[in-house]
């Protein structure tokens, strides 16, 4: 595969992400207006809940409504009350969110309480069922231990996640190939039709290719598509467009 073709493929697997504390309506507009229809289209944009409705409207205005709008809940610390998370999820769904990226209460898991983590995912899944894709962020860089990463992945999958996502992008260690391997192997072991998202720390198309190769090796080449595999990264987009714009 040529570098250009690889960049096109990576773009189709991307959630264009803007999750900065100072985000504004104008910044979300700029994110969407920066999508070049001459190239492949991303799978989704990922924004804070307050920008979901605007994101949907702006994509429609640009006739890009095939691009999903994802948002985050329990973000980034994973410490909101379950009632607060469910209320936030309901609002996001009402405003048209196609995908919910829920932060697992991973600190509870670290403290030896897997039941609370399961309940957050299960309860959110009840709201999302037949409405929205549920991606569960396990914050693998904070869990560190492969045993804990495997446990968090199992909890997410068995509680109803449609994707398991590595990271928020807001901690020192985000996506790594080692964590990705554990998550993918665990998903495969469960036998469930669950996808994987690498978020944070993937900065170049060359790095993205390593994750694609890993997923193909574990899950099979045909599995690696936007229904099962995503990247969440802001800096990756710059490298993708650098390659595509030079032809």
- Residue 123 · residue 102 · CB < 8 Å: no
- Residue 36 · residue 46 · CB < 8 Å: no
Please indicate whether residue 131 is annotated as part of the active site: no
pLDDT at 18: 95
pLDDT digits (tens, 9 = 90+) for 80-137: 999 999 999 999 999 999 999 999 999 999 999 999 999 999 999 999 999 999 999 9
- Burial level of 172, CB count in 10 A (0-12/13-18/19+)? exposed
Catalytic residue among 98, 101, 162, 239: 101
Arithmetic mean of pLDDT over the chain: 97
The DSSP annotation for 178-203 comes to: HHHHHHHHHHHHHT---EEEEESS--
Q: Please report which confidence band the pLDDT of residue 79 belongs to, taking 50, 70 and 90 as the band edges.
A: very high
Q: Please report which confidence band the pLDDT of residue 234 belongs to, taking 50, 70 and 90 as the band edges.
A: confident
Q: How far apart are CA 59 and CA 226, in angstroms?
A: 18
What's the domain count of the chain?
A: 1
Please indicate whether residue 197 is annotated as part of the active site: yes
Cβ within 8 Å of residue 99, ≥6 positions away: 15, 44, 46, 68, 69, 70, 71, 132, 133, 134, 135
**What CATH number has the domain bearing residue 142?**
3.20.20.70
Catalytic residue among 56, 125, 135, 165: 165
User: pTM for this structure?
Assistant: 0.98
Please indicate whether residue 107 is annotated as part of the active site: no
DSSP conformation class of 49:
G
Considering the chain, what percentage of its residues have pLDDT values greater than 70? Answer: 100
Question: What is the span of the domain harbouring residue 174?
Answer: 3-246
pLDDT digits (tens, 9 = 90+) for 148-158: 999 999 999 99
Q: Please report which confidence band the pLDDT of residue 52 belongs to, taking 50, 70 and 90 as the band edges.
A: very high
Q: Which residue has the tokens 């170049």?
A: 204
pLDDT at 247: 75
């Amino acid at each position: 595969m040529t570098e250009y073709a690889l960049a096109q493929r990576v773009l189709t697997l991307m959630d264009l992400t803007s999750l900065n504390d100072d985000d504004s309506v104008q910044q979300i507009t700029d994110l969407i207006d920066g999508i070049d229809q001459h190239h492949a289209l991303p799978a989704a944009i990922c924004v804070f809940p307050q920008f979901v409705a605007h994101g949907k409207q702006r994509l429609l205005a640009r006739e890009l409504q095939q691009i999903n709008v994802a948002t985050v809940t329990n973000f980034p610390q994973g410490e909101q009350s379950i009632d607060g998370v469910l209320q936030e999820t309901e609002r996001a769904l009402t405003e048209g969110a196609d995908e919910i990226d829920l932060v697992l209460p991973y600190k509870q898991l670290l403290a030896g309480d897997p039941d609370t983590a399961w309940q957050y995912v299960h309860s959110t899944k009840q709201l999302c069922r037949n409405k929205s894709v549920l991606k569960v962020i396990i914050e693998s860089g904070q869990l560190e231990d492969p045993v804990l990463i495997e446990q968090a992945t199992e909890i997410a999958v068995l509680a109803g996640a449609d994707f398991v996502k590595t990271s928020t992008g807001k901690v020192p260690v985000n996506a790594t190939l080692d964590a990705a391997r554990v998550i993918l192997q665990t998903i495969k072991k469960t036998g469930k039709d669950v996808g994987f998202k690498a978020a944070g720390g993937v900065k170049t198309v060359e790095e993205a290719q390593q994750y694609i190769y890993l997923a193909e090796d574990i899950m099979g080449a045909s599995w690696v598509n936007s229904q099962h595999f995503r990247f969440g990264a802001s800096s990756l987009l710059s490298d993708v467009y650098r390659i595509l714009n030079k032809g």
